[in-house]
């Protein structure tokens, strides 16, 4: 029995409002995909209308916690399989129909734990849930980016150092992983020490518990050519991929 994951992270609203240059979300229908206990809504700077906030997540306990704090918002359990968060869920379950379209769909640190094939599939499904001029924004971690802060090294070095401090890696193993990942467009670090470089294959003997997925900016640009790929803000380490539905429509031929 794994402990349900309850996120204590703060600052998500401030992050997305800065990335989207949008301070007031009043009157907007908002879907927080992988929103956990609703930290986006709980952010002290949040301008989201509680009754227009929808949180979808694969962790039932997180949604129950969110509902206690914000009963007027909408908390929807999505029983999709996720090895880290919902190992008893249904593999490949489509996102449920919520009976509405959304002006804003955001996902903070969800595709940082999701295999790329699933990310591409879920992004397509989320795009279909936007209003005609709606926006989808989600974060990803570029392994080579040096995030602002006290740690003067790349995001991947930061992750490996964290795993080393937890006793999962030796100094030697850490440098070996850095060397193997250095030119990769994307890769996954499973259970803090198994590296899958540009492959979703994981050794059968490895029982997955954690999976950190890293994508370079260039990789995201090539896979989401209609998106804006923005560097981190507010001292966060995550980049933002912003897709505006209005920009996806074919231009008027007479124009
Ligand atoms: C690192 S946490 C971030 C939580 C929240 N966005 C925050 O910033 O506090 C990742 C969240 O994504 C959820 N998640 C993972 N895979 C998901 C999926 N396929 N659909 C919906 N939620 C998912 C997890 O249950 C977890 O709550």
Run means of pLDDT, 10 residues per run, the chain, 255 residues = 85 98 98 98 97 98 97 98 91 97 98 95 98 97 87 91 92 95 96 92 72 96 96 95 81 53
So what's the architecture of 12-142+219-245 in CATH? 3-Layer(aba) Sandwich (3.40)
Taking the centre of ligand 1 as the mean of its atom positions, its distance from the CA of residue 34, in whole angstroms, is 3
**pLDDT of the residue at 253:** 56
Delimit the domains of the chain by residue range.
12-142+219-245, 155-215
**pLDDT of the residue at 83:** 82
Q: Residues near ligand 1 with C-beta < 6 Å?
A: 5, 7, 9, 12, 33-36, 39, 56-59, 62, 78, 80, 82, 85, 108-110, 113-114
Measured distance CA(125)–CA(114) in Å, rounded: 15
Taking the centre of ligand 1 as the mean of its atom positions, its distance from the CA of residue 63, in whole angstroms, is 11
**pLDDT of the residue at 199:** 93
Measured distance CA(177)–CA(160) in Å, rounded: 8
**pLDDT of the residue at 255:** 47
Taking the centre of ligand 1 as the mean of its atom positions, its distance from the CA of residue 180, in whole angstroms, is 28
**pLDDT of the residue at 147:** 85
**pLDDT of the residue at 151:** 73
Pairing relationship of beta strands 30-33 and 53-57 according to DSSP bridges = parallel
* 187-188-189 Cα angle (round to 5): 130
Is the pTM here over 0.85, yes or no? yes
Which residues, 6+ apart, have CB-to-CB distance to 135 below 8 Å?
20, 103, 104, 105, 242, 243, 244, 245
Q: What is the DSSP letter of 80?
A: B
């Amino acid at each position: 029995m794994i402990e349900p994951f309850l996120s204590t992270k703060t600052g998500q609203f401030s992050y997305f409002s800065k990335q989207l240059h949008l301070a007031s979300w009043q009157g907007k229908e908002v879907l927080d995909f992988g929103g956990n206990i609703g930290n986006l809504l709980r952010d002290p700077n949040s301008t989201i209308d509680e009754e227009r906030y929808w949180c979808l997540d694969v962790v039932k306990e997180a949604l129950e916690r969110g509902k206690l704090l914000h009963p007027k918002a909408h908390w929807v359990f999505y029983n999709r399989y996720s090895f880290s968060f919902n190992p008893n869920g249904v593999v490949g379950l489509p996102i449920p129909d919520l009976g509405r379209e959304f002006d804003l769909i955001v996902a903070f640190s969800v595709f940082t734990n999701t295999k790329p094939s699933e990310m591409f599939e879920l992004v397509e499904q989320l795009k279909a849930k936007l209003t005609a001029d709606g926006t989808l924004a989600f974060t990803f971690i570029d392994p080579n980016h040096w995030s602002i802060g006290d740690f003067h090294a790349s995001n991947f070095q930061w992750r490996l150092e964290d795993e080393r401090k937890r006793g999962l890696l030796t100094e030697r193993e850490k440098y070996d992983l850095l060397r193997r990942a250095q030119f990769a467009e994307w890769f996954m670090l499973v259970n803090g020490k198994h590296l899958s470089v540009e492959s979703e294959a994981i050794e059968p003997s490895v029982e997955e518990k954690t999976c950190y997925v890293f994508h370079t900016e260039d990789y995201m640009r090539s896979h989401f050519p209609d998106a804006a790929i923005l560097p981190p803000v507010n001292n966060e380490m995550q980049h933002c991929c912003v897709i505006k539905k209005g920009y996806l429509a074919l231009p008027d031929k007479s124009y």
